[in-house]
């Protein structure tokens, strides 16, 4: 047991398990299966954007993508407009979403590399442009996804939500790249000490570019799935995933100092955050209370992590 407790991801899962047990107990033990299914369904979106954000944060202090909500909205809006609800256009819509993700990721990194802007400034400024493009292209219209796509997004396979299966496949691909691939070792080396990584022959800028492209593509996929799941794209559909994408990374055990990634912890944190929000909603807490609690949790995790490093 002590060796398991030393793994950073275990704490997110223990927190999620405890919150799940409390939620079920307060509900007189009823609805456990439904709650677990909902956690898988809604937690999948937070996990997808969280895994992408994790790659960027692993690059070290100052690296974060604040354009995730706008990328989700723009990709969903343009993809649904391209499909226009016509059957058989699902791959076209997915292709449009992926192109939007690649485009926004390339634009973000161009601002960072060419203009030497801090990532937090570059992605925040870019998000205003992406959101404006989404507003211009939406024009108040709510286009529904093709029926087959909506059925897939809301459906299940072997009693597991399809959106969760997509998220798990993406997470598995990232985990393999980090644990078994050269690129994963390069990413963590660049996050620990960029100068030393360059001297060791690591193509640091190429690694950074790949990370920023990946987080945008994952955000685009999440937006595409979320719009298909909810029956259309809304201009505020990605708003809650700005703080959420950062929260699940920190709570999941990824080091904000860079050089360490934690894919399993992302999912545990995503479930934990969904269950906390679900519990607060049950007792009528507003969006403000949820945001405050999320902030308190993040601050507590950061303080605990800092204290642990100082004692190490």
C-alpha–C-alpha distance, residues 160 and 152, integer Å:
12
Residue 309 has pLDDT above 50, yes or no: no
Residue 311 has pLDDT above 50, yes or no: no
DSSP 167-221: HHHHHHHHHHHHHHSHHHHHHHHHHH-HHHHHHTT--HHHHHHHHHHHHHHHHHH
217 Cα distance to chain centroid: 11
- 8-22+32-311 sits in which CATH class? mainly alpha
- Residue spans of the domains in the chain: they are 8-22+32-311
pTM of the model: 0.91
pLDDT digits (tens, 9 = 90+) for 118-150: 999 999 999 999 999 998 887 756 788 999 999
C-alpha–C-alpha distance, residues 20 and 288, integer Å:
22
C-alpha–C-alpha distance, residues 167 and 243, integer Å:
19
C-alpha–C-alpha distance, residues 308 and 312, integer Å:
6
pLDDT digits (tens, 9 = 90+) for 40-58: 999 999 999 999 999 999 9
Confidence at residue 287, expressed as pLDDT on a 0 to 100 scale? 65
Mean pLDDT (the chain, rounded): 87
If one compares 235 and 296, the residue with the highest pLDDT of the two is: 235
- Which tokens sit at 247? 């929260």
Confidence at residue 259, expressed as pLDDT on a 0 to 100 scale? 82
- Which tokens sit at 95? 């292709």
What's the whole-number mean pLDDT along residues 177-193?
92
Residue 293 has pLDDT above 80, yes or no: no
CA angle, corner 272, sides to 271 and 274, nearest 5?
65
CA angle, corner 67, sides to 165 and 73, nearest 5?
60
pLDDT digits (tens, 9 = 90+) for 224-282: 999 999 988 888 888 889 888 998 998 888 888 888 888 999 999 999 988 888 777 76
């Amino acid at each position: 047991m002590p060796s398991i407790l030393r793994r950073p991801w275990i704490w997110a899962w223990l927190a999620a398990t405890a919150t799940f047990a409390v939620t079920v107990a307060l509900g007189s033990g009823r609805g456990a299966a439904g709650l677990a299914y909902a956690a898988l369904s809604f937690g999948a979106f937070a996990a997808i954007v969280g895994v992408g954000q994790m790659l960027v944060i692993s690059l070290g202090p100052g690296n974060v993508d604040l354009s995730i909500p706008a990328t989700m909205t723009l990709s969903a809006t343009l993809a649904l407009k391209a499909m226009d609800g016509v059957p058989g256009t699902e791959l076209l819509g997915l292709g449009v979403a992926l192109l939007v993700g690649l485009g926004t990721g390339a634009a973000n990194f161009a601002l960072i590399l060419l203009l030497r802007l801090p990532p937090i400034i570059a992605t925040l400024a870019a998000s205003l442009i992406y959101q404006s493009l989404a507003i211009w292209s939406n024009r108040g219209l709510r286009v529904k996804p093709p029926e087959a796509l909506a059925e897939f997004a809301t459906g299940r396979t072997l009693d597991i939500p399809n959106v969760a299966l997509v998220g798990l496949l993406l997470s598995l691909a990232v985990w393999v790249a980090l644990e078994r691939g050269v690129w994963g070792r390069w990413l963590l080396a660049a996050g620990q000490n960029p100068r030393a990584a360059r001297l060791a022959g690591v193509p640091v800028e190429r690694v950074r570019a790949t990370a920023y492209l990946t987080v945008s593509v994952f955000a685009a996929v999440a937006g595409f799935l979320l719009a298909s799941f909810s029956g259309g794209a809304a201009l505020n559909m990605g708003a809650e995933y700005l703080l959420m994408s950062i929260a699940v990374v920190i709570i999941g055990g990824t080091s904000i100092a860079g050089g360490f990634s934690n894919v399993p912890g992302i999912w545990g944190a995503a479930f934990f955050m969904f269950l906390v929000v679900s519990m607060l909603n049950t007792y009528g807490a507003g969006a403000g209370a949820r945001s405050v609690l999320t902030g308190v949790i993040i601050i507590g995790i950061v303080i605990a992590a800092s204290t642990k490093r100082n004692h190490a």
